[in-house]
Amino acid sequence: MKRFLLWLTALLAAVGLGILTPGPVSAATSYCGLDWGSLAKTAPEMSTASVTNVRTGQQSCFDRMVVDRNGPAKGYTVRYVPEIIQDATGFNIPVQGNARLQVTVNAPSHDSNGNVTYNPAAKAELSNVAGYQTFRQVVYAGSFEGSTSIGLGVRARLPFRVFTLDGPGSGSRLIVDVAHSW
């Protein structure tokens, strides 16, 4: 017992004298190490691939939306907008959340013969995002003149990133990640 008290006293003295202290915490550290912004992200190329599916998922630091395509990934535009606009009609689509991301995929929702490749049954809820930390609603805004638009309602104007991945197979994916916090 005396040995334990001796060690404990030495440890407390070392902490009190500043010999043992935790490392400094950087005030510049971003949320989860993410250094994304909230400005528009775009890649202007057009795609010969078609949209085939939209799905979502939750990660520890962000919510993710994935747009599947049946060929190589090409262009997109993702940006915060005051309202989600339906392709071709110009109508406003109501979306839950305090901020809205318009995701325009430079790929149609039909093949070169006009056969539909993506026609969601519930255009006002492409994926059930109940319980997500950031996402509030995912809506289909249509496919017109070679582009498909998706509205993403989010909790607030938060940082996001956009990138593409090849696969599975000959397909590709457009990924939109929105951080849970700044």
CATH code at 129? 2.60.40.3500
Most confident range (mean pLDDT) of 84-88, 93-97, 141-145 is 93-97
Per-residue pLDDT band at 8 (split at 50, 70, 90): low
Q: What is the pLDDT of residue 90?
A: 86
Task: Give domain status of residue 4, yes or no.
Answer: no
Task: Give domain status of residue 6, yes or no.
Answer: no
What is the number of structural domains in the chain? 1
Q: Which comes out higher in pLDDT, residue 54 or 9?
A: 54
Task: Give domain status of residue 142, yes or no.
Answer: yes
List alpha helices for the chain, DSSP H: 2-16
pTM beyond cutoff 0.85: no
Task: Give domain status of residue 157, yes or no.
Answer: yes
Per-residue pLDDT band at 24 (split at 50, 70, 90): very low
Per-residue pLDDT band at 22 (split at 50, 70, 90): very low
Task: Give domain status of residue 21, yes or no.
Answer: no
* Neighbouring residues of 127: CB distance < 8 A, sequence distance ≥ 6: 54, 55, 56, 65, 138
Q: By residue range, what is the domain housing residue 36?
A: 31-179
Task: Give domain status of residue 148, yes or no.
Answer: yes
Q: What is the pLDDT of residue 77?
A: 97
Q: What is the pLDDT of residue 107?
A: 94
Q: What is the pLDDT of residue 30?
A: 61
Task: Give domain status of residue 22, yes or no.
Answer: no
Task: Give domain status of residue 23, yes or no.
Answer: no
Sign of CA dihedral 146, 120, 122, 101: negative
Q: What is the pLDDT of residue 175?
A: 97
